[in-house]
């Protein structure tokens, strides 16, 4: 039995999310189907994190255990051949220690949220960014974002369907960067609550529009009440961009 670590890129638009679903396609099911075709084994694929319907990834980390002897490069090539035409690609595949776990060994997860400021509809990037038709005050957003960094009870920014045991999380980084008509929000933490990144971005957009101030954002956080959430950003602009581990120990 060999454990392989995969780096996965996918376009989330056709999927119900990462996790296998009974009522629609998922990234996990797509990869597991390809693995079954290659190995004739029913193999579970475990990811660093779950993503919602319409959320994308540039570097999701995952792992699977394969009984059949196969080289990492051959497995990657075979997976990519069988994943077509699904918009999923295996960017890297390496052997790892048997106790390496994509989810439980992960010490930090990183997301990027992409916003495009323009009145015209998106064509090439439709579903890949949040279009906002008016200018946003990026410095105000960047300043307000720092109010959320640190260890807090994020109940206000947590989905009502979140299954986490505790709403307390430590947000390591929340940076807002503007470049012309584009804004990128970078978030990093050991773990996130369901909808946490989208909820934070939605409220930061309200700050950018002048509807909220940094103090309003702080008050919403302190309220620990989902009803105090200003806006939940759409899934379109959210990308899982990285997962970090203490060591990438190859077997």
- How far CA 249 is from CA of 68, 74, 107, 230, in Å, comes to 21, 20, 15, 43
Closest CA to 187 of 108, 116, 128: 108
Fold of domain 2-105: Alpha-Beta Plaits (3.30.70)
Q: pLDDT by residue (tens digit) across 1-28?
A: 999 999 999 999 999 999 998 889 999 9
Closest CA to 199 of 168, 175, 220, 176: 220
Q: Give the pLDDT confidence score for residue 160 in this predicted structure.
A: 83
Q: Give the pLDDT confidence score for residue 22 in this predicted structure.
A: 81
DSSP secondary structure string for all residues of the chain: -EEEEEEEEE--TTSSBSS--SSS--HHHHHHHHHHHHHSS----EESS--BTT-EEEEEEEEEEE-S---HHHHHHHHHHHHTTSSEEEEEEEEE-TT--TTTT--EEEEEEEEEE-SSPPSTTBTTBEEESS---HHHHHHHHTTT-EEEE-GGGS-TT---S-SEEEEEEEEEEEETTEEEEEEEES---TTHHHHHHHHHHHHHHTSS-HHHHHHHHHHT-GGG------GGGEEEEEEE-S---B-
Q: What is the dihedral of CA 57, 218, 189, 80, to 10 degrees?
A: 0
CA distance 201 to 249: 35
Which part of the chain is CATH 3.30.70.580? 2-105
Which part of the chain is CATH 3.30.70.660? 111-241
Question: What does the block give as tokens for 116?
Answer: 């495009």
* pLDDT at residue 162 tops 90: no
Q: Exposed, middle or buried, 250 (CB in 10 Å: 0-12/13-18/19+)? A: exposed
Average pLDDT over residues 129-147: 98
Residues labelled catalytic: 52
Query: pTM to 2 decimals?
Result: 0.94
In CATH, the architecture of 111-241 is 2-Layer Sandwich (3.30)
Question: What does the block give as tokens for 184?
Answer: 């990128």
Q: Give the pLDDT confidence score for residue 249 in this predicted structure.
A: 43
Q: Give the pLDDT confidence score for residue 152 in this predicted structure.
A: 98
Q: pLDDT by residue (tens digit) across 56-74?
A: 999 999 999 999 999 999 9
Q: 14 and 35 in contact (C-beta within 8 Å)?
A: no
Average pLDDT over residues 138-162: 96
* pLDDT at residue 248 tops 90: no
Kindly calculate the radius of gyration of the chain based on its CA atoms and give it in whole angstroms.
Answer: 19
Q: pLDDT confidence of 224, banded at 50, 70, 90?
A: very high
* Other residues' Cβ atoms within 10 Å of the Cβ of residue 48: 28
Q: Give the pLDDT confidence score for residue 103 in this predicted structure.
A: 96
The percent of residues above 90 in pLDDT, for the chain, comes to 94
């Amino acid at each position: 039995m060999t454990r392989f670590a995969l780096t996965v890129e996918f376009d989330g638009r056709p999927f119900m999310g990462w996790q296998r679903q009974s009522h629609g396609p998922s990234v996990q099911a797509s990869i597991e189907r390809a693995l079954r075709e290659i190995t004739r084994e029913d193999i579970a694929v475990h990811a660093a994190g779950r993503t919602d319907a319409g959320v994308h990834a540039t570097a999701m980390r995952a792992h699977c255990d394969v009984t059949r002897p196969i080289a990492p490069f051959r497995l990657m090539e075979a997976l990519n051949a069988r994943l077509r035409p699904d918009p999923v690609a295996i960017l890297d595949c390496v052997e790892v220690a048997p106790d390496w776990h994509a989810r439980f060994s992960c010490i930090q997860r990183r997301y990027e949220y992409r916003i495009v400021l323009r009145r015209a509809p998106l064509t090439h990037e439709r579903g890949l960014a949040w279009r906002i038709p008016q200018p946003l005050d990026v410095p105000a957003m960047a300043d307000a974002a720092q109010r959320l960094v640190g260890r807090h009870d994020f109940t206000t920014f947590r989905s009502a369907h979140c299954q986490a045991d505790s709403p307390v999380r430590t947000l390591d980084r929340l940076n807002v960067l503007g470049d012309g008509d584009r804004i990128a929000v970078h978030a990093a933490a050991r773990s996130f609550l369901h909808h946490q990144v989208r909820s934070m971005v939605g409220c930061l957009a309200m700050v950018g529009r002048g509807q909220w101030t940094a103090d309003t954002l702080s008050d919403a956080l302190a309220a620990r009440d989902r009803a105090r959430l200003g806006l939940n950003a759409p899934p379109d602009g959210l990308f899982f961009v990285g997962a970090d581990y203490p060591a990438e120990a190859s077997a």
